[in-house]
Structure 1
Amino acid sequence: MRKLPLAIALAVMLLGNAAAADKKDKTPPDEAKPEAALLKPQASTSEGSVSVEGKRIAYKAVAGTIVLHGKDDKENDPTVSMFYVAYFKKSDDATKRPITFIYNGGPGSATVWLHMGAFGPRRVITKDDSHTPAAPYQLVNNDYSLLDASDLVFIDAPGAGFSRLIANESDASKREEQMKDRRKEIYGVDGDGHAFAQFITQFLSRYGRWNSPKYLFGESYGTTRSAVVANDLENENSVDLNGVILLSQILNFDTSIDGPDQNPGVDLPYELALPTYAATAYYHHKLPQAPADLEPFLQEVEQFALGDYAQALMAGSRLDDARKQAVAEKLHQYTGLPVAYLIKANLRVTGGMFEHELLGDTNDTTGRLDTRFAGPSLDPLSKEAEYDPQSSSISSAYIAAFNDYVRKDLKFGQEQNYREFADIKEWDFKHNNHDGAVNVMPDLAMAMKTNPNLKILLNGGYYDLATPFYAADYEMHHMPVQPALMNNVSYAWYPSGHMVYAHEESLKLLHDNVARFIEQTDNVKR
């Protein structure tokens, strides 16, 4: 999985190689001949209750689809059937009740992770930092569901989950060409963002929620999407959002520690990943001198990363041997990697290299999404990690739990295949006609400028090497906005990984932080 072209590697922001899953240019069977169910909105309604931190909440659940149309919203041109699960708290004035639109990333991932792991009324139990045993899995009341603070709408990306692209031509060859056009239109930064913005405005109309406080919650590539969608909603649809909640953020792909060796001359990713390397070495007891507490230690590492380390990397071939040796010895103190290895790597260790080498004495590889996890290296002699032990440890539990829950409790999808990822052959990273690395910081900045009341909550895990927390912090502090608008941004860091909620103590903190953020920004008079 590691040895992919950089453009594909960057697409794999959540749980696997969605972009390279299938190279055959063939329309999936369940999209080849769309049934009436795909062309018209569907809905299955059920009821339930959840106890959130001791308080019982009764809710109505709707599992259904909304059909999107072309850019001109022509009714005879359906493009995507987007699946969602919405939870509405009973006995509340919907005009005042906040509503939060929630999605994972990928790009092209279903939203099973946030649904079954973070904020839905039921939560699947997985091991904290090791492989979860095979079925039967345990599905329990979610004490940390966000339903106490907001109504919730979990959205599957086009082509993922039960969402499907639509080609309605009657002729088979024309239908295949139409499907190619759909993929080209939707599977990209701009097309994906437009689809989600269109879904949200249609949802607001269908359920009469235009006057509700509105929030976006995106994880991983979902944060990239949130910047685009927030800007689209604010400046194309006149929808002022109350808040945007970001989890495991990546807005500028030039900060990614996946494959920076393929982009020589840009050393920033190595610097921004260093605190995560240090946290991981701390967790696995690989530091030569273990500090008493993690957070003060990370602050020290951050100063070194953007100070002496950044200056050494900037020197390039001008860095003399004595200085290189000194920096390598300091890196050894912060990462646990051998000095000789660090010098051989020219002081530049990619995420995959670190994951493979930290536990090399036991032939184990750390996780990428959550470096607390570890598993047997597929090839002990490889340069980089070749899989993600964290993803392998918990994915089966999430997929099995949701497939059971959606059919038995939500009464949806009995004859359908639930896709973990969309069948994406190529993702269009071009954004606003710019061919370079994706950078949506200007989008979020524009949304903040045109709506100066918009509040942002950034969340991240110390053990996340897919989207390192210090990279997210760096991005946010380099937003092109006036200094006063930076007061609209708040931060929360957790002793967990990419999927912060996979660690129960962090899930509680995440819930409390997000619920407090919504209460402070929903503009509801109490």
Structure 2
Amino acid sequence: MKKLVLVLVIVCHLSMAAQTKEEKSNPKPIPVPKSFVTNHKGVFGGKTISYKATAKETFLKSEKGDSVATIWSVAYTQDGITHSAQRPVTFVFNGGPGSASVWLHMGLFGPKIVKIDSDAKKDDGAAPYDLQTNEHGLLDLTDLVFIDPVGTGYSRVVGKGKEKDFWGLKEDAASVAQFIRLWITENQRWFSPKYIAGESYGTTRAAAVGKALEGGGQNMALNGLILISQALDYDGSTSIHNNITSYVTYLPSMAATAWYHKKAGQGKDLEDFLEECRKFTYNVYTPALYKGNLLTHEEKNSIAEKMSYFIGLDKDYILRSDLRILMHRFQKQLLADKGLSIGRLDGRFMGDEADKLSEGPHLGDASSYQISSAYTAALNHYFASALKVDMDRPYLTSNDKIGSKWRWRTVPDGSYWEPAPVNVSRALGETMRRNTEMRVLVASGYFDLITPFFDAEYTFSRNGIVKERVTMTYYEAGHMMYVHEPDLIKLSKDIRDFLTVK
């Protein structure tokens, strides 16, 4: 009897192994790509624009010609254009990795945008939400193409494609570059001025895509990049122990946030206060960090006093932190007297957490969970009601599986590679030097505590970037500065000015 059981177990195991092998070898089905075309009219830049919205799947193919993935995009193109060579087109995506383009689509660039509390005082609550016409949209100046990378939105792997072929720094850039070339070719837009707008990791992607578009036997030169909350060099946006660069780059953002919450800089203009903090950071704080324990007791005490003046934390706490304040601790400490934690994406937001003594916020990011429901609902409602999209699966505004599987390695397997922080800023500098017409707009929020504004300044003053063709703009909000109504207006105007520079 025992032998029979053992035989059955072995047979069952072999059968399951064969089934698993078969599942791995069998490619995923290749569906018929779906497309939804609708016609619209709206007022943008004071002009009435008739435009076509095309929401569709586009196949990406391997070098062998096999369909391996579909990219979901929504394109808004002006009707009645006889000279399309003069009409710019802007490709738009968000970051993550693992985020769909919902944020820039429904928050800044799209014809319709969702409204949330501009002053970051109220949660977005529950439905219904406020979807409005985007009075500050740019369709009078440029066509817009929103891209969802593979694994986000409705984009997915098909056929013989594998997730690992798309979920990585270089792999992702290659797939987005392939899509852009396909869209440009299909729509006969090779002569059109071309821009990319990315947010957060989307700026990492934008720089990588700009470089990828130079190769592949189809050199495509971009006219410009719009980098919203840039993340080109991860040294400056990774707040962890022993990363001296991050202590430097985050300090002015802590000062700005402390000013906002009336914990520092009272009676001073924000920009004047931050200029004072910049000088302290470069001239005093940075050398002190490198001296470390070579500092005297008096020097440490003096620096802690000045840091307390700038970032609103108790001097003794700063000394116990060895003059090194990690961002998640700052989020918890700044408003500890009120029992509140501040947001990471946007330090204006506040969360009331049950555990008042945790190392950092334990509910998550208040500036994310207080707005995400509105954005998700708005996009799904808008797709169904206005664009007549009818798909057989949910639209993934974010995909948590991607981050854990993301390949940061920049060299092929088998090549020696010592892990280091991601840095595409030098690639951007090299692209700008090969493409002498390409310009860059960098938009930074003062209260962004994940990609700090001072990191943008630090990054763009290095790495061979051509500073004469870079425009730096600033906003009194956070990572998604457009959720703040005054900065939505300002950012839209800044992008408008950038697109119309002669």
Structure-to-structure mapping, 1:276-355, within 5 angstroms: 276-287=253-264, 289-355=265-331
1:513 CA displacement? 1.0
Q: Which amino acid aligns with 2:375?
A: Y
Contact in 2 for aligned 1:291/1:297 (Cα 8 Å)? no
- The reply on whether 1:87 has 2:79 as its aligned counterpart is no
Cα deviation digits, residues 80-119 of structure 1 (max 9, x gap): 1110000011222322100000000001100000000001
Equivalent of 2:175 in 167, 171, 195: 195
Which residue pairs with 1:4 in the alignment?
none
1:167 CA displacement? 3.7
Equivalent of 2:365 in 374, 383, 388: 388
Give the Cα separation in 1 of the matches to 2:171 and 2:422. 14
| Residues 414/235 of structure 1: CA separation in 2 closer, same or farther (3 Å cut) | closer
Which residue pairs with 2:405 in the alignment?
426
1:508 CA displacement? 1.0
Q: Which amino acid aligns with 2:405?
A: E
1:52 CA displacement? 2.4
Q: Which amino acid aligns with 1:344?
A: R
Tell me the secondary structure at the aligned position of residue 158 of structure 1.
Answer: coil
Equivalent of 1:495 in 451, 476, 480: 476
Tell me the secondary structure at the aligned position of residue 412 of structure 1.
Answer: coil
Contact in 2 for aligned 1:219/1:246 (Cα 8 Å)? yes
Which residue pairs with 2:353 in the alignment?
377
Equivalent of 1:441 in 403, 419, 425: 425
Which residue pairs with 1:115 in the alignment?
105
Contact in 2 for aligned 1:162/1:419 (Cα 8 Å)? yes
Structure-to-structure mapping, 1:202-221, within 5 angstroms: 202-221=182-201
Cα deviation digits, residues 306-334 of structure 1 (max 9, x gap): 11011111111112211111111101100
Give the Cα separation in 1 of the matches to 2:499 and 2:109. 14
Give the Cα separation in 2 of the matches to 1:35 and 1:406. 25
Give the Cα separation in 2 of the matches to 1:300 and 1:431. 39
- The reply on whether 1:152 has 2:153 as its aligned counterpart is no
Which residue pairs with 1:270 in the alignment?
247
Which residue pairs with 2:17 in the alignment?
none
1:34 CA displacement? 4.8
Give the Cα separation in 2 of the matches to 1:151 and 1:313. 48
Contact in 2 for aligned 1:228/1:443 (Cα 8 Å)? yes
Which residue pairs with 2:443 in the alignment?
459
1:378 CA displacement? 4.7
Which residue pairs with 2:42 in the alignment?
50
Q: Which amino acid aligns with 1:420?
A: T
Contact in 2 for aligned 1:257/1:465 (Cα 8 Å)? no
Cα deviation digits, residues 335-382 of structure 1 (max 9, x gap): 100011101111111111111110101111101001011111352111
Q: Which amino acid aligns with 1:69?
A: K
Give the Cα separation in 1 of the matches to 2:455 and 2:390. 39
Give the Cα separation in 2 of the matches to 1:152 and 1:432. 33
Contact in 2 for aligned 1:103/1:155 (Cα 8 Å)? yes
Paired residues in the alignment total 467
Which residue pairs with 1:104 in the alignment?
94
Q: Structure 2 regions of 5+ residues with no counterpart?
A: 1-19, 21-25
Which residue pairs with 1:507 in the alignment?
488
Which residue pairs with 2:56 in the alignment?
64
Give the Cα separation in 2 of the matches to 1:450 and 1:474. 23
Give the Cα separation in 2 of the matches to 1:465 and 1:384. 13
Give the Cα separation in 1 of the matches to 2:148 and 2:390. 13
Give the Cα separation in 1 of the matches to 2:441 and 2:226. 5
Give the Cα separation in 2 of the matches to 1:478 and 1:382. 37
Larger gyration radius, structure 1 or structure 2: 2
Which residue pairs with 2:115 in the alignment?
125
Give the Cα separation in 2 of the matches to 1:490 and 1:340. 40
Cα deviation digits, residues 433-485 of structure 1 (max 9, x gap): 5531111112111211111111111111001011001101110111224xxx3
Contact in 2 for aligned 1:49/1:121 (Cα 8 Å)? no
Tell me the secondary structure at the aligned position of residue 351 of structure 2.
Answer: strand
Structure-to-structure mapping, 1:170-249, within 5 angstroms: 182-236=162-216, 237-249=218-230
- The reply on whether 1:416 has 2:380 as its aligned counterpart is no
Give the Cα separation in 2 of the matches to 1:399 and 1:346. 42
- The reply on whether 1:251 has 2:235 as its aligned counterpart is no
Give the Cα separation in 1 of the matches to 2:171 and 2:408. 10
Cα deviation digits, residues 109-150 of structure 1 (max 9, x gap): 000000000010001011121312211001110011121221
TM-score (norm 1): 0.86
Contact in 2 for aligned 1:231/1:443 (Cα 8 Å)? yes
Contact in 1 for aligned 2:45/2:140 (Cα 8 Å)? no
Contact in 1 for aligned 2:30/2:67 (Cα 8 Å)? no
- The reply on whether 1:135 has 2:127 as its aligned counterpart is yes
1:211 CA displacement? 0.9
Tell me the secondary structure at the aligned position of residue 234 of structure 1.
Answer: coil
Cα deviation digits, residues 232-277 of structure 1 (max 9, x gap): 112443101111110100111111243x21xx2x311111111111
Tell me the secondary structure at the aligned position of residue 405 of structure 2.
Answer: coil
- The reply on whether 1:472 has 2:456 as its aligned counterpart is yes
Which residue pairs with 1:6 in the alignment?
none
Give the Cα separation in 2 of the matches to 1:165 and 1:108. 14
Q: Which amino acid aligns with 2:485?
A: E
Contact in 2 for aligned 1:123/1:140 (Cα 8 Å)? yes
1:51 CA displacement? 2.0
Give the alignment's Cα RMSD to 1 decimal: 1.8
Tell me the secondary structure at the aligned position of residue 445 of structure 1.
Answer: helix
Sequence identity, in percent?
Answer: 38
Tell me the secondary structure at the aligned position of residue 314 of structure 1.
Answer: helix
Q: Which amino acid aligns with 2:228?
A: L
Give the Cα separation in 2 of the matches to 1:379 and 1:239. 53
Q: Structure 1 regions of 5+ residues with no counterpart?
A: 1-25, 27-31, 169-177, 522-526
Give the Cα separation in 2 of the matches to 1:36 and 1:406. 24
Give the Cα separation in 1 of the matches to 2:61 and 2:99. 21
Q: Which amino acid aligns with 2:184?
A: L
Which residue pairs with 2:8 in the alignment?
none
Give the Cα separation in 2 of the matches to 1:43 and 1:36. 15
Give the Cα separation in 2 of the matches to 1:473 and 1:50. 37
Tell me the secondary structure at the aligned position of residue 146 of structure 1.
Answer: coil
